[in-house]
Amino acid sequence: MIAGLHRRRLPRRFYDRDTRVVARELLGMQLVHVVDAVPRVGRIVEVEAYLGPHDLAAHSARGLTPRTRPMFGPPGHAYVYFVYGMHHCFNTVTEREGHASGVLVRAVEPVANLAGSTRGPGLVCRALGIDRRLSGHDLLSDDLFIARPPRRERVAIVSRPRVGVDYAGAWARRLLRFYVRGNRWVSRP
DNA sequence: TGCACGATGAAC
DNA sequence: TTCATCGTGCAC
């Protein structure tokens, strides 16, 4: 089940590729946060790709700020932000340093030690105990990382427009949200 | 220093 | 469809 978690941790080069490819391949991977020596594990079933400063829906489109600094850094790091005064959202930074792109994890299927709903980006962070103190954290660390599943599994992928980015004009209509077809944990099928 | 606004979630 | 709730970014 969760044996050999650290051994299955994704390498830096996984994240240093086209963001849409990384987003799709993250489906089925296991997001892990070790809290008080207990690994909280969720299988990623829904993500969104944010392609960089030219993508008007991406936070990096407003330029480098203290909040978005991790997005402009090297791949394989966490970008966690606080929204609506009460929710946190977890992203992985992708592509080369300065590209400022990333993948938002919108929903996970419970695998181990998760309590409460995990359908939706805010709820994923709540269940996994992730907040903005982890923004900029290295995803090749021992306490926060993403691992290959124990067994290779094939998933059918659905592409849809991203959620909550209507302000981004034509970019809001791009099919940059991906989820596992038929999975009951997807936030908005 | 002030203020409008969210890459949301839950209630109605 | 409405509202809770507050950090962030930019206007002043």
Domain residue spans of chain A: 2-180
Q: What superfamily would CATH give domain A2-180?
A: Methylpurine-DNA glycosylase (MPG) (3.10.300.10)
Q: What is the mean pLDDT of residues A62-67?
A: 97
**Residue A84 pLDDT exceeds 70:** yes
H or E segment to which residue A83 belongs: strand A78-83
Q: What is the DSSP letter of A55?
A: S
Footprint of strand C on the protein (CB under 7 A): A 59, 62-63, 65-68, 81-82, 84-86, 132
Which nucleotide across the nucleic acid strands is nearest to A88, CA versus C1'?
A: B8
Rounded Cα gap, residues A96 and A30, in angstroms? 23
Q: What is the mean pLDDT of residues A24-34?
A: 98
pLDDT in tens, A161-182: 999 999 999 999 999 999 999 9
Is the whole-model pTM more than 0.85? yes
